[in-house]
């Protein structure tokens, strides 16, 4: 599994919104400038992140985006699933995938299931607030499984 630029930039965008949550709605141009990401690319990411429980939006002069929930309520796993889709390391573990005819006798399936469990457990245990707290404490990103 490889996380695309879209997933990495979505996480950076959401963190930027979390850091600036007390400033109200944030324009994409401001996020783009701070994160050194194209505004056009952020517009594509925002289209994936829409939903009343993900981002709140406001149009007009002071319009923009803000988090719909507190940073502690967003997991890295949730953000990546919105942009990447499945986080499964192999196709046969993706949600809704056809049952592999070899599944019953597949010697490697437990390896992929274990990896998938570790990936999802890890990413679903990290919140935006966890990342902010570590950054503010100037601690290294020592998130360990």
pLDDT tens, the chain, 145 aa long: 789 999 999 999 999 999 999 999 999 999 999 999 999 999 999 999 877 799 999 988 888 999 999 999 999 999 999 999 989 888 888 877 667 777 778 888 889 999 999 999 999 999 999 999 988 876 555 554 3
Domains of the chain: 5-138 (1.10.10.10)
25 φ/ψ angles, rounded to the nearest 5 degrees: -75, 135
Contact (Cβ atoms closer than 8 angstroms) between residue 15 and residue 130? no
Question: pLDDT at position 62, please?
Answer: 84
Query: Judging by beta carbons within 10 Å of its beta carbon (0-12, 13-18, 19+), is residue 14 exposed, middle or buried?
Result: buried
The CA-based dihedral angle spanning residues 76, 80, 81, 84, taken in that order and rounded to the nearest 10 degrees: -170
| pTM for this prediction | 0.87
Question: pLDDT at position 144, please?
Answer: 44
Among 89, 92, 87, 90, CA closest to 104? 92
């Amino acid at each position: 599994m490889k996380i695309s630029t879209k997933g990495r930039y979505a996480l950076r965008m959401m963190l930027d919104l979390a850091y600036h949550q007390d400033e109200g709605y944030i324009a994409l141009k401001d996020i783009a400038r701070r994160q050194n990401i194209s505004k056009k690319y952020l517009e594509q990411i925002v289209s994936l992140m829409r939903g009343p429980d993900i981002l709140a939006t406001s149009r007009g002069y002071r319009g923009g985006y803000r988090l719909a929930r507190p940073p502690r309520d967003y997991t890295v796993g949730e953000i990546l699933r919105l942009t990447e889709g499945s986080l499964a390391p192999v196709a046969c573990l993706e949600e809704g995938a056809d049952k592999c005819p070899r599944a019953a006798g597949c010697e490697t399936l437990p390896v992929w299931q274990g990896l998938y469990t570790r990936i999802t457990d890890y990413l679903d245990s990290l919140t935006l607030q966890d990342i902010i707290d570590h950054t503010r404490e100037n601690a290294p990103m020592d998130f360990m499984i």
